[in-house]
A and B are shown apart, each in its own frame.
Chain A
């Protein structure tokens, strides 16, 4: 499924259409958005990094000095996530608050690269959360939608502020034309996230494997949940098709030293169900035998006490039958009266469907 995302981005847009855009959302419970971002970026640039195509990576560096606080521009660029086999040029950008300037820098970079080749770029932004810290939602949304509409010609990767990767432009002869960005969902208001989701054609959100329920859990349980969530999680992707249909897919992911691995969903409902029951020292569940035995128990008022089978009241019985019954009942009563003077409860069930201890109030069908 992660493969299909990359394929979607790689295929690009048809003529006259907006470029496909992917939003990667994570949260503090599963802060692995950067891993997914790197995965997508690696897949898209695999040809470039392998040196197979005449492509280039251009970086618009908004990390080193976004606000112009530094006196002198020292220090190497940190590109630890990517090997520098190919020519990578980097341009420092010191005015992240000015989004118009940022957009024109992107377009300028893109056109420079376009002039060198066939003019197809893809843009990746790491991360939009940082952009939203420096500028308003409307201006960021404006920039993104302009990038998308331009992106039939351009593909530029913008690496924003916090991450070690910087803005890249990826140019590939395979005519990629797409854009993708990363954001942290718990750092923004819902309307901001909704606006960005609206701008994207694919939304990938990371969720923890186990949703921890606070309160009833002991410390050790919380710890083991934390440990589990720190390595694995679920990746949900929502695709918006051109015809308006929405497709939702889900995969599990696992963080390894070499990167992130996606696997199809394993059925872990058993674990979830176990997780919902509080852990106490006695067994709250019934075994099969216990369940059968429970079903066999006859409730005290359900048997006649004298071995006779239960009568189920059928409202359509004719009078004669009713009389016969009455007679037999009377005779029974006489007998019992003669015998022991014991009381007797005669209970006719309304129907066999009525379960004992039913929650239904028999007065419910009265209309008053």
Chain B
């Protein structure tokens, strides 16, 4: 009951809605890992009350299936059954390597990955699974797989964006902000921030390390219509603590 109540702060901030195409970008750093947000969204995507119409396509560049299975099991969500039912499509891309000079071609590496995903989505649509979530973990490793070609990764993200508009999917991506801290204009990071409908930043507290609070989350939700139609964006900021089986989210100072 307690964890259900506290994670609703995160749900409120995200306002996840599969009826509209949306892009969620999660930005974290070494000091504050934002993977728990990804796991939370994954759990919510699979546990939709209209569960027969939901599906998740997971592009894993960073961890194998067993890792996510273990974590989601602790959160009370089984991944094996949906995987067998083709509701959870897992692409293990840890060893993906795009051939050199891939940018101009329409074959190999990322373009063929895109076509695979497109095929899967069309197949899911035929089975009436309309609430689809595409998750990418994570973009910086996709850049490594693309031999450092930021443009190629951005082209791939653009095509994924066309998919969200065409089929009404939710696209969730993870990136690490501090990787680009030495660059004056981190193109990949900024492009993703422009692309995002919901931008989630996981940062450490400005006061430093703490045992009770692991960090703070800032959620910028663009395009949320408020009552009088006055503001179009909604910003949330709260602290969180990652526990064994859940995440506790609370406003600063409200934790007893």
Contact = CB atoms under 8 A, between A and B. Distances in A.
Interface in B176-235: 185, 187, 190-191, 193-195, 205-206, 216, 218, 220, 222, 225, 229-233, 235
Interface string B104-122: 1010000100110010000
Contact of B155 (A63, A67, A70): A67
Given A63-B162, A75-B166, A223-B237, A69 B111 contact: yes
A31 B196 CA distance: 11
Interface in A252-311: 255-258
A84 to B, nearest CB: 16
Interface string A145-165: 000000000000000011010
B206 A218 contact: yes
Contacts of B216: 219
A147 B181 CA distance: 38
A133 B154 contact: yes
Nearest to A225: B235
B206 A219 contact: yes
Contacts of B106: 67-69
Contacts of B194: 28, 31, 162, 184, 187
Size band of the A side of the interface?
A: 35 or more
Interface stretch (A200-208, A226-234, A334-342): A226-234
Contact of A28 (B166, B190, B237): B190
Contact of B165 (A71, A78, A184): A78
A167 to B, nearest CB: 15
A28 B188 CA distance: 13
Contacts, number: 87
Given A226-B220, A231-B231, A257-B225, A162 B193 contact: no
A51 to B, nearest CB: 27
A248 B151 CA distance: 36
Given A28-B190, A31-B194, A226-B220, A231 B232 contact: yes
Interface of B: 104, 106, 111, 114-115, 118, 151, 154-155, 158-159, 161-162, 165-166, 185, 187, 190-191, 193-195, 205-206, 216, 218, 220, 222, 225, 229-233, 235, 237, 252
Q: Which 4 A-B pairs have the closest CB atoms?
A: A257-B229, A230-B233, A75-B166, A69-B111
19 contacts: A28-B190, A31-B193, A70-B115, A70-B118, A71-B118, A75-B166, A134-B151, A162-B194, A184-B194, A186-B185, A186-B190, A219-B205, A220-B237, A226-B235, A230-B220, A255-B232, A255-B233, A256-B229, A257-B225
